[in-house]
Chains A and B, each alone.
Chain A
Amino acid sequence: MNKVPNNKAWWLVLPMFLLVAFSAIIPLMTVVNYSLQDIFDQNTAYFVGVEWYQETLRNTRLHDSLLRQFGFSFSVLLIEIPLGIVVALMMPTRGWQASAVLILLALPLLIPWNVVGTIWQVFARGDIGLFGWTLNNLGIDYNYTSNPLDAWLTVLLMDVWHWTSLVALLCYSGLRAIPDAYYQAAKIDRASPWAVFRYIQLPRLRNVLVIGVLLRFMDSFMIYTEPFVLTGGGPGTSTTFLSQTLTQMAIGQFDIGPAAAFSLVYFLIVLLVSWLFFTTITHMEKSDNGNKHDK
């Protein structure tokens, strides 16, 4: 048989290539381009090499912001994941109650970020906000506009309120996928409720929890709107997270070059941490699948 070389099919890749180019590659390369220059105005720009990167890595304002960011993201995960699991375990499984609870849980997820910020901005005020007023009247000195810890806790609470539902819904779907026979067998084997959770439910939730952890980490690592609406990053810099520092740099101070370098570093950090999570979890799974004799 005569094989005719014909590579015209490669043209079919072109639309996809163009789409990806416009949506990702070109914008990203623009940022890379900015990060290598010192830009004064539209017509004045100097090539500065990796200077902005060096500065970014040495900038203490960014270091503080990064630490604050990690502290926040890990707190979010530490609270939302266990809480989401507990909520999912307590949700009714059938009847109208199940639908009602599902809808109630989904509601916070439908609210836009800045609206969540505004709701809490009012809700937590000491004078007219129910939450702040109640706390103050209980004798707790709470004021998110002046106390850095109060502000930080309020942002955390806001995120927990907004996003725990997501983890709970994911876990709920994971729990529903466990066949009844497992619960029946556990009953027959006289397993305690804790044993049922530890040996039946938790192992089967692992896959949805991977998704939950990744989503919540990435989202909380990019948090911007809520603290911005609540206190504008204050008091001081107590709730100024990475994205807000970046915005201040790029738009407030018009430091396009350093901001571009910083945003690329930011992007790499998110990528790195997500990759770490992912490989750790898949590695756990692998060693689980592996025969104990193999080790």
Chain B
Amino acid sequence: MATITLKSLAHSYLAQPRNPQTHPQDYAIQALDHVWKQGGAYALLGPSGCGKSTLLNIISGLLSPSQGEVLFDDQVVNALSPEQRNIAQVFQFPVVYDAMTVAENLAFPLKNIKMPKAQIKIKVREIADLLELTDSLDKKAKNLSADQKQKVSMARGLVREDVSAILFDEPLTVIDPNLKWKLRRKLKQIHEQLNITMLYVTHDQLEAATFADEIALMYQGKIVQFGSPQELFERPNHSFVGYFIGSPGMNFIPIKKSEEGKKNEKDKGRVFYQNISLAISGSQQAALKSCHSTNLKLGIRPEFIELSETYEANSFPASVLSVQHLGSYQLVVVDFAGLEMQVRVAEKMQFSGAGVYLVFPSQWLKLYIDEYLVGEPVLVNKGDYKSENHE
């Protein structure tokens, strides 16, 4: 059991990586600082190839990082092997020892640490009951179905109690959706029982949100945001978080500080998309004032756009391109002055024509400068997340 600290960690798969400042593309992981607290249930979320498996293998000791340090509590473990770090890890594809029975598979890690036989038996039985493997304990592992193999694989990870942490590398990829749900809840229960740090790598936001208390979202070798699922949803720190979290992701409107060729006193506190002017908050105006970048975007989630067929104050006309009925809600794709936007509305809403009006509530309209969120009112008591651009 340990708190895992990553200190300015970087990793490159190249033999001779160039300077990380000038050639970030050489690095699978870039200058990463992070703390995984003892006993937490964390998810490492990100698209394929963002470096999450690399990070996991560095923590477990299967990979040695090119730069930086990994600490378990106060001990630097860079030079220690996985067995010395006392880590359990479950891999994406089931790894079972073919020649053994399920019971022998589960007993294997315990046998290797020389636990007494009687104790092994009790422990194996316990973990098999937990994962509903009791009936197949005497079967040869190679005759199991893929999802059962993965259960065996997971059980082997969970069977040792004294581990520093358990790492899961997309463990539910091969398992069918119904069982996935059950196993995820099982893992959560196990976590509550054992109080072991668990780190769960996935590219599925739903999986991450149901398993973890806090999610670290990785993008291009960096953790771009770390927070609760709600924080990731409501205040995406980076435009990629907005795009990646939620289904569908955030809508982005490219904006300019002022309308082309005109400078008008009454435009103060507004930004422009083509010739449409949008109001922004005071703190957003302040952030905008001091920046010179032209990479400016407003982001708003499809859930927060209000759509109606009648004109109201501060609403903008748009035309409906398509409507998908998705059961509990409908997804409307609209054309907002040449920009395709997605809006989520209640299933019962009916459309008579193609013309609609959109309202963008100001508290959900987020401002991104160079892809990072700015101009948010500072939250109190939320130590872990910064709203300011930290580059």
Residues of A within 8 A of B (CB): 179, 181-182, 184-185, 187-192, 195, 199-200, 202-204, 288-289, 291-293
Given A184-B89, A288-B140, A291-B139, answer yes or no on A190-B113 (Cβ-Cβ < 8 Å): yes
Residues of B in contact, count (CB < 8 Å): 28
Contacts of B83 in A (CB 8 A): 187-188, 190
- A189-B109, A192-B112, A289-B142 known; A182+B82 contact, CB < 8 A: no
Chain B residues in 8 Å Cβ range of A179: 93, 95
Shortest Cβ distance from residue A219 to the other chain B in the assembled complex, whole angstroms: 29
CA distance A204 to B99 in the complex (A): 9
B138 is an interface residue with CB less than 8 A from chain A? yes
Contact A191 B108, beta carbon cutoff 8 Å? yes
Q: What are 11 A-B residue pairs whose CB atoms fall within 8 Å in the complex?
A: A179-B93, A181-B93, A182-B95, A188-B60, A190-B109, A190-B112, A190-B113, A202-B99, A291-B140, A291-B143, A292-B140
Q: Contacting A189 at CB < 8 Å: which of B99, B108, B140?
A: B108
Q: B330 — which chain A residues lie within 8 A by C-beta?
A: none
| Cα distance, A200 to B157, chains bound together (Å) | 17
Scoring A181, A185, A200 by chain B CB atoms within 10 A of each residue's CB, the highest score goes to A185
B308 within 8 A of A: no
With A289-B140, A291-B140 given, is the CB distance from A185 to B100 under 8 Å? no
Q: Give Cα A189–Cα B143 distance, bound, in whole angstroms.
A: 22
- The number of residue pairs between A and B whose CB atoms lie closer than 8 Å in the complex comes to 65
B interface residues (Cβ-Cβ under 8 A, vs A)? 60, 62, 81-83, 87-89, 91, 93, 95, 97-101, 108-109, 112-113, 138-140, 142-143, 153, 156-157
Q: Which residue of B lies closest to A288 (CB)?
A: B140
Nearest CB of chain A from residue B62's CB, rounded to whole Å? 5
Cα of A199 to Cα of B100 in the assembled complex, Å: 8
Where chain A touches its partner, the secondary structure class is helix
**In angstroms, how far is the closest chain A Cβ from the Cβ of B89?**
5
- Contact between B62 and A204 (Cβ–Cβ < 8 Å)? no
Q: Is A203 a contact partner of B98 (Cβ separation < 8 A)?
A: yes
A292 and B91 contact, Cβ closer than 8 Å, known pairs A187-B62, A188-B60, A189-B156: no
Given A188-B88, A189-B156, A289-B140, also A203-B109 (CB < 8 A): no
Q: What CA separation (Å) do A181 and B97 show in the bound complex?
A: 11
Q: A190 CA to B101 CA in the complex, in Å?
A: 18
Residues of B within 8 A of A182 (CB): 95
| Shortest CB distance B170–A (Å) | 12
Q: A191-B112, A292-B139 are in contact. List 10 more A-B contacts (CB 8 A).
A: A181-B91, A184-B62, A185-B91, A188-B109, A190-B109, A195-B112, A200-B97, A203-B98, A289-B142, A291-B139
Rounded to whole angstroms, the CA-CA distance of A191 and B140 in the bound complex is 19
Give the complex CA separation of A191 and B99 in angstroms: 15
Residue of A nearest to B157 (CB): A188
Are A292's CB and B99's CB within 8 A? Answer: no
**Given A289-B142, A289-B143, A292-B101, A184:B81 Cβ within 8 A:** no
Task: Pick the residue among A181, A189, A203, A293 that contacts B112 (CB under 8 A).
Answer: A189
Question: With A and B bound together, what is the CA distance between A187 and B89 in angstroms?
Answer: 10
Residues in A neighbouring B100, C-beta threshold 8 A:
199
Task: Say how far B163's CB is from chain A's closest CB, in angstroms.
Answer: 9
Residues on the B chain within 8 Å of A184, using CB: 62, 82, 89, 91, 95
The smallest beta-carbon distance between B90 and chain A, in angstroms, is 9
Closest-CB distance, A210 to chain B (whole angstroms): 15
| Residue of B93, B98, B142, B153 with most partner-chain A CB within 10 A | B98
Query: In the docked arrangement, what's the CA distance between A289 and B100, Å?
Result: 11
Chain B, Cβ-Cβ closest to A203: B99
Known: A188-B88, A191-B108. A199 touches B113 (CB 8 A): no
Q: B97 contacts which chain A residues (CB < 8 A)? A: 199-200, 203
Query: In the assembled complex, which residues on chain A have CB atoms less than 8 Å from the CB atom of B95?
Result: 179, 181-182, 184-185
Give Cα A168 to B347, complex, Å: 67
| One of A181, A199, A293 near B99 (C-beta < 8 A) | A199
A291 CB contacts on chain B under 8 angstroms: 138-140, 143
Q: Which of chain B's residues have a CB closer than 8 A to the CB of A292?
A: 101, 138-140
